[in-house]
Chains A and B, each alone.
Chain A
Amino acid sequence: MPIIVDHLNCIYEAGTAMEVVALSDINLVIPDGQFIGLIGHTGSGKSSLIQHLNGLIKASSGTVYFNGEDIYDEDYDLKKLRSKVGLVFQYPEHQLFEVDVFSDVCYGPKNLGLSKKDVELRAYKALKMVGMDDEYFYQSPFDLSGGQKRRVAIAGVLAMEPEVLILDEPTAGLDPKGRDEILGLIKKLQAETGMTIILVSHSMEDVANYVDRIIVMNGGSVMLDGVPKDVFAHYKELEEVGLAAPAVTYIMQQMKEQGFDVGTDATTIAEARDEILRALGR
């Protein structure tokens, strides 16, 4: 069942001099199993939007339907919603706190009131999903590398067995290999479990490489929504709001301007390579 966002508005400190419209009239349908990239400059409303999706912020008006139910209904169980829609914050490793990796991942499911056996089973499964070997389970999470800590933090959310996983810039501060590893892991999770993924990212290259659909936020509204190729075709508008197309889109554009017979809609290195090879007649 999808998530439906219906005429959602969010105004912070309404009626005061500090009033800020964070979201205005957002309408979205997020089907099951989709891999979505959410982009927008700092302050465009991305974080406000994702915090509405698991009920951390209550909308000023409008509503969110999850699995057909209005999450603002009086008898709706928000706690259940938060276990179904998992949110991985920026720098999630700052939230690690337990004495060892395994206990840290157990913390979430333990709070769901499951039996000890079920909790441990879920933690084990989650740690395996993120590719952590048994040898790390009883180490302090603080002794791990940056990329490993982040995996453990993601496992903590996966152990809740969410249907939707939202990640706020999961690759910030990681080295290029670490970035590829985390994104590869997310893609694998989506393919294997059919989980819906919403990835907030500042990297246009990452978004172009991994997602099925891009939602662009600007000034609290949805500015563009579509498959990567269509969204990045609007690269001039994206630049006006502090974003950009992937680097290869600009390369193709410049080649065309200088007389090469190439299409300009490539968004990944592989597409650009194939298009240039075609133009060269190879």
Chain B
Amino acid sequence: MIPNKSYCFLECESIKDAELLFQSLHGKSTLGQNDSVLYLSYFVDIPNESFVDSKSLIPSGLVILKDFVDGEEEILLLKSVEFSENEENQTLKHRSVKHFGYEFMYGTNNVDPENPLDKKIPKECDFLWKRLKEKSLPMEWEFPDQMTVNEYLPGQGIPPHVDTHSAFLDPIVSLSLQSDIVMEFRKGNMKAEILVPKRSLLLMTGEARYDWTHGITPRHMDVILTENRTLTTANRSKRTSLTFRRLRRGACSCSFPRLCDSRKEPIKESVDLEEVAAKLETENVHNVYDQIASHFSETRHSPWPQVAEFLNSFDQSDVLLDVGCGNGKYLNVNKELMSVSIFCFY
């Protein structure tokens, strides 16, 4: 078995049944995702691994309030944050996002408190906070001032991350609409797969907010635990999540330093990082190119058509600077240019 791949086990009454299953499914059945075929092999025993552990572990501080909104409210909320065709919204690699109150900047993983957006959190969301207050949960805020709307199509997801500690107060609150989803929480080598039902409100407080990362694996279906503790699959459909946060406007003082950006010593860190980066570059770039240089050069002779087109777009005697010119294959594409080329050698 290949590690970190998922497998399914079918238990049969007799060897004859197993053979029959094998003959009719192996390399033929398209039960898999994206119409890919299934491959089967025989096992004597079902491996004694616990598949249930990660599905029953719950990070401390994680709260899921099921059926927090009803179907009508769901429709109203969706309408208030609707993704319209002509409106500008960001399509990230694996999902579409939209920000209200403050823009969450993915470059810095932070918000700029001095730059609020004109677009505030819609009034339609207000009823949530009264309802939430009645639950008397530990919260540093009563009303959010930032909302991020994510739209996930089946097969999309979000890489594991922790919401920047210094950016937002405790908790991070997320309302799931339209589809159930399995979210993965990780802390060290601990992993918790949490089924987040549609119309539920998820709160990451304390340890779950600060010391666990959360993410959604991009796939079309989730494996979920049924009530009688067996496993089944559920197809994903389009899911919209409304994530509500309150800006912290200061350093974080949590008791979970491991993932805390306020605990890091930025100056020392950056010096160390530069050393590490230089070492990595020497090992993985310079040394590698050193070893492969002659082969690399021999196999790079034909100019890429669009680069050639670019080079031919200049006038005679224009100056071309080719930084990292390798074997100089672009030097003679446009002979009318004055070329200065740089490459690195040791």
- The answer to whether A and B come from one shared complex is no
Give B contacts to A, CB under 8 Å. Answer: none
Give A contacts to B, CB under 8 Å. Answer: none
